[in-house]
């Protein structure tokens, strides 16, 4: 039918446009707080030291969590020196595109081609996927491994599902929650404890080295989760009244919303639940458990921590629309899903358009970042060029009062892991100093050589 063919072409066009927009954003500079705090900084420190080592202190405590993606970043930062974080960004883009591809394969087990494409579109144009496709956050990589693990599990490839699940845990500790969901789901689908044991052991063997490393370096395998170093916002949450309101906020009111479509379709899933095919029940159970896991864990990452479950939510959305018995309502919801997708794509396009001057070379990377420095709280950047002109590769700078260190392009030691090394410069805040900084300052004769009023930093030279 011509109409159905045109609809399929339209869905493919929107997906291609989203892929292109997200790819373009991958060539912009990094501005994400966590990426500049540790996702990129840790592999950059490894590169500078030419070794993978334990980073002590109270700043980069996440350096003992599973960091498979950061280790891949290490090689990408090495081989993309001109574009710097372009390599990690492209990995995120590829993980998002790969997750969409696996979702399509999974959707074809339940839906015809048109509705499978709709499910992929619903997932891929969510604001979260668009933003993370041009960032060095690691959530899309985790999403890729988790949707792959689910796809392999439902296709009765237990061993390979365990491998994928282990790689997800090796990317982020929070994937342990997904492991619990998949083990329960596998038990319901297979009713075979031996297969579930195989899944558990395989995933455990793949992920175990990271937890052994944490134990050897800190004495606690899950460090820093559950350690005193994390604040109250990282504790488990058991506030039942927020079970519904948190979902509403997540869909429409958070800083990183998932999509209002999921909230809009939830009543229809409940009303028309008897119309859903029986083979979709595992997906429903998976989705409910996924939300409960997200709701119980520390939600410092907001909707970002729910991202690995959105592919299945998108698939369920397609299933709900497809199985609504009323033809007019079904078409109306299909059209509504398309409108939301187009609006999300338009929003992402505008955000990417703002990057075009720096991507096309009409504005320097330094000019762009310094113009947006107010959006990078706690982040150092050499806007004046003074640091590049004066601090040599043979010098060592002691840094205090800077939270995000990725853009420091000279040898440095941060105060939390300073262990008495001889330093040539002090870079300290124009304000109260820590006790360690005070002690170091009084131990030698220092001369003030520069003040960075924009970042409120003072530089002293020995």
DSSP 272-341: TGGGS-GGGHHHHHHHHHHHHHHHHS--TTGGGGGGGGHHHHHHHHHHHHHT-S-HHHHHHHHHHHHHHH
Regarding predicted confidence, which is higher, 255 or 438? 438
Positive or negative, the Cα torsion across 151, 154, 157, 159?
Answer: positive
d(CA 43, CA 47): 6
Read off the pLDDT band of 255 (50, 70, 90).
low
pLDDT in tens, 114-141: 999 999 999 999 999 999 999 999 999 9
Is pLDDT at 69 greater than 70 in this prediction?
A: yes
Read off the pLDDT band of 226 (50, 70, 90).
confident
Is pLDDT at 236 greater than 60 in this prediction?
A: no
pLDDT computed for residue 295 by the predictor: 82
Q: What is the mean pLDDT of residues 11-26?
A: 97
Regarding predicted confidence, which is higher, 217 or 233? 217
Q: If you average pLDDT over every residue of the chain, what do you get?
A: 92
Q: What is the mean pLDDT of residues 94-111?
A: 97
Is pLDDT at 224 greater than 90 in this prediction?
A: no
Half-sphere exposure of 440 (CA within 13 A, CB side): 26
pLDDT computed for residue 233 by the predictor: 53
Instruction: Tell me the two tokens of residue 46.
Output: 């490894």
pLDDT computed for residue 417 by the predictor: 94
Cα separations in angstroms, 43 against 36, 94, 170, 171: 11, 20, 16, 14
d(CA 131, CA 22): 8
DSSP state of 37: I
d(CA 59, CA 416): 7
Cα separations in angstroms, 416 against 58, 113, 398: 6, 55, 10
Regarding predicted confidence, which is higher, 46 or 224? 46
51-164-103 Cα angle (round to 5): 125
- Judged by average pLDDT, the poorest of 17-26, 211-220, 227-236, 392-401 is 227-236
pLDDT in tens, 301-316: 678 889 999 999 999 9
Q: What is the mean pLDDT of residues 361-370?
A: 94
Is pLDDT at 238 greater than 60 in this prediction?
A: no
Give the domain ranges of the chain: 2-353, 378-461
Q: How many residues does the chain have?
A: 462
pLDDT computed for residue 234 by the predictor: 52
Q: What is the mean pLDDT of residues 351-375?
A: 93
pLDDT computed for residue 450 by the predictor: 97
pLDDT computed for residue 294 by the predictor: 86
pLDDT computed for residue 1 by the predictor: 56
Q: What percent of the chain has pLDDT over 70?
A: 94
- Judged by average pLDDT, the poorest of 174-178, 247-251, 375-379, 414-418 is 247-251
d(CA 135, CA 401): 25
| CB-based contact 251:266 (threshold 8 Å) | no
Is pLDDT at 240 greater than 60 in this prediction?
A: no
Q: List 457's β-bridge partners, or say none.
A: 429, 452
The reported pTM is: 0.94
Read off the pLDDT band of 392 (50, 70, 90).
very high
Sort residue 225 into left (φ over 0), alpha (ψ -120 to 50) or beta.
beta
Read off the pLDDT band of 53 (50, 70, 90).
very high
Q: List 425's β-bridge partners, or say none.
A: 397, 461
DSSP 221-270: TTTTTTSTTS-GGGS----TTHHHHHHHIIIIISSS---HHHHHHHHHHH
d(CA 146, CA 165): 6
Burial of residue 57, with CB atoms counted within 10 A of its CB: 0-12 exposed, 13-18 middle, 19 or more buried: middle
| CB-based contact 46:75 (threshold 8 Å) | no
Is pLDDT at 79 greater than 60 in this prediction?
A: yes
Read off the pLDDT band of 237 (50, 70, 90).
low
């Amino acid at each position: 039918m011509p109409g159905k063919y045109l609809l399929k072409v339209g869905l493919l066009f929107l997906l291609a446009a989203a892929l292109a927009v997200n790819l373009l954003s991958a060539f912009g500079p990094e501005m994400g707080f966590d990426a500049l705090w540790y996702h990129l900084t840790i592999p950059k420190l490894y590169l500078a030291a030419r070794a993978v080592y334990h980073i002590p202190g109270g700043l980069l405590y996440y350096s003992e969590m599973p960091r498979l993606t950061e280790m891949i970043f290490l090689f990408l930062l090495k081989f993309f020196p001109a574009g710097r974080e372009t390599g990690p960004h492209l990995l995120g883009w590829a993980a998002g595109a790969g997750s969409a591809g696996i979702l399509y394969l999974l959707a074809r087990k339940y839906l015809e081609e048109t509705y499978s494409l709709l499910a992929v579109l619903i997932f891929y144009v969510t604001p979260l996927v668009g933003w993370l496709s041009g960032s060095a956050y690691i959530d899309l990589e985790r999403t890729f491994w988790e949707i792959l693990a689910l796809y392999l599990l439902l296709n009765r490839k237990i061993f390979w599902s365990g491998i994928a699940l282990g790689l997800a845990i090796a990317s982020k500790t929070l994937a342990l929650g997904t492991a619990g969901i998949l083990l329960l789901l596998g038990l319901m689908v297979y009713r075979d404890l031996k297969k579930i044991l195989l899944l558990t052991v395989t995933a455990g063997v793949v992920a175990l080295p990271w937890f052994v490393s944490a134990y050897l370096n800190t004495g606690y395998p899950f460090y820093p989760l559950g350690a005193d170093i994390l604040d109250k916002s990282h504790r488990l949450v058991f506030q039942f009244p927020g079970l519904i309101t948190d979902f509403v906020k997540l869909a429409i009111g958070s800083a990183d919303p998932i999509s209002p479509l999921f909230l809009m379709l939830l009543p229809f899933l409940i009303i028309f639940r008897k119309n859903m095919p029986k083979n979709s029940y595992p997906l429903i159970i998976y989705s409910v458990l996924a939300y409960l896991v997200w709701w119980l864990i520390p939600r410092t990452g907001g909707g970002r921590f729910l991202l690995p479950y959105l592919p299945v939510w998108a698939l369920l959305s397609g299933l709900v629309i497809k199985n609504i018995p009323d033809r007019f309502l079904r078409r109306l919801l299909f059209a509504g899903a398309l409108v939301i997708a187009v609006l999300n794509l338009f929003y992402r396009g505008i955000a990417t358009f703002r990057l075009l001057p720096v991507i096309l070379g009409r504005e320097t990377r330094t000019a762009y970042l310094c113009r947006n420095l107010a959006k990078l709280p706690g982040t150092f950047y050499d806007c004046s060029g003074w640091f590049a002109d004066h601090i040599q590769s043979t010098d060592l700078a002691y840094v205090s009062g800077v939270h995000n260190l990725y853009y420091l392009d000279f040898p440095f030691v941060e105060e939390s892991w300073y262990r008495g090394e001889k330093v040539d410069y002090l870079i300290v805040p124009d304000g109260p100093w820590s006790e360690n900084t005070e002690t170091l300052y009084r131990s030698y004769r220092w001369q003030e050589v520069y003040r960075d009023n924009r970042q409120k930093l003072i530089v002293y030279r020995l």
